[in-house]
A and B are shown apart, each in its own frame.
Chain A
Amino acid sequence: LAKTTQPISMDSYEGQEVNITCSHNNIATNDYITWYQQFPSQGPRFIIQGYKTKVTNEVASLFIPADRKSSTLSLPRVSLSDTAVYYCLVGDVRDDKIIFGKGTRFHILP
């Protein structure tokens, strides 16, 4: 399982676009990049997954450069409801388990 590094915390004003970058230098060929969101006292929730280039859904966009050694989760026009911990995970869908790092704590500035 590839190790990931992401900022411990980030903050922003409401309405801004927020980009959270994750480094995964030893990503393997079969690995996908997955982001989860966790609100306080709830379980993590799948946000988005990608292999290369760009993936977009109704919640976020995921940008993956050609070398795949990093990825950026982009949250458009954040609001208070986006206050959460965001986890970047790298692994093969054939993996028996998913492993979490410490995540990035995101909050809105007053």
Chain B
Amino acid sequence: ETGVTQSPTHLIKTRGQQVTLRCSSQSGHNTVSWYQQALGQGPQFIFQYYREEENGRGNFPPRFSGLQFPNYSSELNVNALELDDSALYLCASSLAVSGANYGYTFGSGTRLTVV
């Protein structure tokens, strides 16, 4: 059973640019959630995708968007990058069955630095 893999592991972007982060979910999982973790803080929920549609969103502006593909992998896109977007971006997959979520598994994250 493969775990959650994220790419790239590190990334440096310039303010105003756009970035795409990728996540492959654990085998057997059908739901992907994205989190932003600033230095010294707990992970903050960005949004979740289930059946290729957004299924819940945290307090993040529309320039944070995502996609889920038929193979349950996912992308997080951030437009018009700001310095405060510098953080560790975590992806977690889980299995949603009959309205319940099981087995949250996190990837190691993508460290994004905006300069």
Q: Which of A14-22, A39-47, A70-78 contacts B (4 or more CB under 8 A)?
A: A39-47
- Which residues of A, 43-57, contact B by the 8 Å Cβ criterion? 43-46
Q: Within 8 Å CB of B100, what residues of A?
A: 93-94
- Which residues of B, 44-66, contact A by the 8 Å Cβ criterion? 44-45, 48, 55-56, 58
Q: Would A43 and B4 count as touching, CB distance under 8 A?
A: yes
Q: Within 8 Å CB of A101, what residues of B?
A: 42
18 new A-B contacts, CB < 8 A, other than A41-B109, A46-B105, are A41-B88, A41-B111, A43-B4, A43-B92, A43-B109, A44-B106, A87-B42, A93-B101, A93-B102, A94-B100, A95-B101, A96-B55, A96-B56, A97-B33, A97-B45, A98-B33, A101-B42, A102-B42
Number of A-B contacts (CB under 8 A): 53
**Which residues of A line the B interface, CB within 8 A?**
41-46, 85, 87, 93-103
Closest 10 CB pairs of A and B: A43-B106, A100-B42, A96-B56, A93-B100, A100-B43, A94-B100, A43-B90, A102-B42, A42-B108, A44-B106
Q: What are 22 sample pairs from A and B whose C-beta atoms fall under 8 A apart?
A: A41-B88, A41-B111, A43-B92, A43-B107, A44-B43, A44-B106, A45-B106, A94-B101, A95-B101, A96-B55, A96-B56, A96-B101, A97-B45, A97-B56, A97-B58, A97-B101, A99-B45, A100-B43, A100-B44, A100-B45, A102-B42, A103-B42
